[in-house]
Structure 1
């Protein structure tokens, strides 16, 4: 692939993100839709639907606050029926440590809240606190499972970042198989939606790895932000993308299109930004220890302290 013969055009400027009010309006509308769908399906469970929303908001608030603290850009919150909620954002500097803290900032506060509610239950023996405690703990422990795209799966991916590119696709495939089996065993077929997301992400990951290989062969840099990308580098990356991505093959490789948005978005998604590998082996061991403790300890707590109650 000859990058030197690329016609250099001026790279497009990304559109400005919606104003903060518009972002929060979208979040609010997605929340209303989320509650509405669940209320339509489970009309007798409105109290628990609202409590579930509170649990998710606390979980996502942890991610949101961490992203804001680490100066992520374009931070947005969305609620997706049957899949929960998620916060998205773009980091300015790709710090392994900051990314892991951001991932743990979601489930850990929820698990701690659940443990505190369990203590309240042990004190007053009101079953409401037991059920609410379970809701906090189980939802957040589920998110800590080492299955992508859950927080635990992304945690493992980040701990292994910088290793061979084949590891993440293998991990995604294993996660999909594990969740598919779990869905069949438990007859919880909503989990198949997550499996579908994993398959979609796996296909995208394989596609991206092929593009990265093309860029490496052509010595085209991609470890930088979009703003730092030169016009020539944009065109070279653009050419690799158009050659590899079926949905973008209709674009001319050498000329900027009037409808350049989809290509530009793919370029932005492909760029790795300024990477910062700031995780020592000792720090990784601490993170893994925290992950194991917060995943295992609450379950042991319920089993030992409430033998007469059912966890699942």
Structure 2
């Protein structure tokens, strides 16, 4: 071997100078991601907390809770099944106390078209079902069906509003704004202002949790930008999937996240190069720090098509309810 030649082992980096080998840095193996067998139990626990908060904090009666929960489950199943179709991994449905529910999952590469379809797959079936339930209830003079229809239409139409993090906002962000971090940040700020105005106007102050969440998202995005900047300086690649990370990259990203996020630093503790008790949570943060591959596969005509579909979803309740009343008259 020639002088000053660099050699690399699987889990450690060694430098050989003038025939003598010195260890520069040793990195443990990257932790393995769990199989996700407890995801169902996590969904159940979140559902129980959601139901309890609806009853004891919001003072909803049992009948109303069941109707809202049924609508939410149908809505999220639309997202879940579509994401499963597009081969998302580690899918799970989580209920958010006093707010609703969400489906989360992992995918290394996402396209504009997929993102828009996944977003529409939640509210669109719910609105269609709501229109049919309303028509059925109106024709048969069934107030329970009309009540359920109103809940389905209101919840799903609200989710179609073009503000982050609602489904409508995700559609518009995917089509027009996430081409640059600056544009996306501006869109989020607009969403914060609009959702705050909506919450105040309808006097539903619990909804202020959503813009508050967006504010925290902006703050975290700023911190993450600093993390990425430091990783760029250290020539650590983060434009890849978690599975593609090597041992060194994982531990360096983990280190920078802990340096910029106090909550992650608390999870890491003194385990700088050793797995922590809650390493699974740290892995989740590392995954979120990675830049996923985003494929822009829609031309202008395709984007217009999705906007028309979005507008159609908004118009369906008015059209369906109007036709039902015309039929009776």
TM-score range, shorter chain: 0.7 to 0.9
- Mapped pair 1:270 → 2:270: no
Aligned to 2:182: 166
Q: How does 1:57-68 map to 2 (within 5 A)?
A: 57-68=73-84
Q: Contact (CA 8 Å) 1:8, 1:231: kept in 2 or not? A: no
1:166 match: secondary structure:
helix
**One of 266, 273, 277 as aligned partner of 1:256:** 273
Q: Contact (CA 8 Å) 2:55, 2:65: kept in 1 or not? A: yes
- Tell me how far apart the structure 1 counterparts of residues 287 and 210 of structure 2 sit (CA, whole Å): 25
After superposition, the Cα gap between the structure-2 partners of 1:52 and 1:171, relative to the gap in structure 1 and judged at 3 Å, is same
After superposition, the Cα gap between the structure-2 partners of 1:182 and 1:235, relative to the gap in structure 1 and judged at 3 Å, is same
After superposition, the Cα gap between the structure-2 partners of 1:136 and 1:220, relative to the gap in structure 1 and judged at 3 Å, is same
CA RMSD of aligned residues (A): 3.1
Aligned to 1:206: 222
After superposition, the Cα gap between the structure-2 partners of 1:174 and 1:43, relative to the gap in structure 1 and judged at 3 Å, is closer
**One of 266, 279, 284 as aligned partner of 2:303:** 284
Alpha-carbon shift at residue 287 of structure 1 (Å) = 0.9
Aligned to 2:315: 296
TM-score by length of 2: 0.80
Aligned to 1:179: 195
**One of 99, 105, 124 as aligned partner of 1:89:** 105
- Tell me how far apart the structure 2 counterparts of residues 277 and 10 of structure 1 sit (CA, whole Å): 37
Larger RCO, structures 1/2 (Cα 8 Å, 6+ apart):
1
- Tell me how far apart the structure 2 counterparts of residues 215 and 296 of structure 1 sit (CA, whole Å): 47
2:61 match: secondary structure:
helix
Aligned to 2:19: none
Q: How does 1:35-74 map to 2 (within 5 A)?
A: 35-40=51-56, 45-74=61-90
- Tell me how far apart the structure 2 counterparts of residues 62 and 232 of structure 1 sit (CA, whole Å): 39
Alpha-carbon shift at residue 236 of structure 1 (Å) = 4.7
**One of 158, 166, 181 as aligned partner of 1:142:** 158
- Mapped pair 1:27 → 2:69: no
Alpha-carbon shift at residue 49 of structure 1 (Å) = 1.4
After superposition, the Cα gap between the structure-2 partners of 1:211 and 1:306, relative to the gap in structure 1 and judged at 3 Å, is farther
Q: Contact (CA 8 Å) 2:160, 2:169: kept in 1 or not? A: yes
Aligned to 2:115: 99
Gaps of 5+ in 2: 1-12, 16-23
- Tell me how far apart the structure 2 counterparts of residues 216 and 244 of structure 1 sit (CA, whole Å): 15
1:103 match: secondary structure:
helix
- Most deviating of 191-200 and 157-166: 157-166
| Equivalent residues, number | 302
**One of 172, 187, 190 as aligned partner of 1:156:** 172
- Most deviating of 187-196 and 218-227: 218-227
- Most deviating of 297-306 and 188-197: 297-306
Aligned to 2:30: 12
Q: Contact (CA 8 Å) 1:226, 1:268: kept in 2 or not? A: yes
Q: Contact (CA 8 Å) 1:94, 1:272: kept in 2 or not? A: no
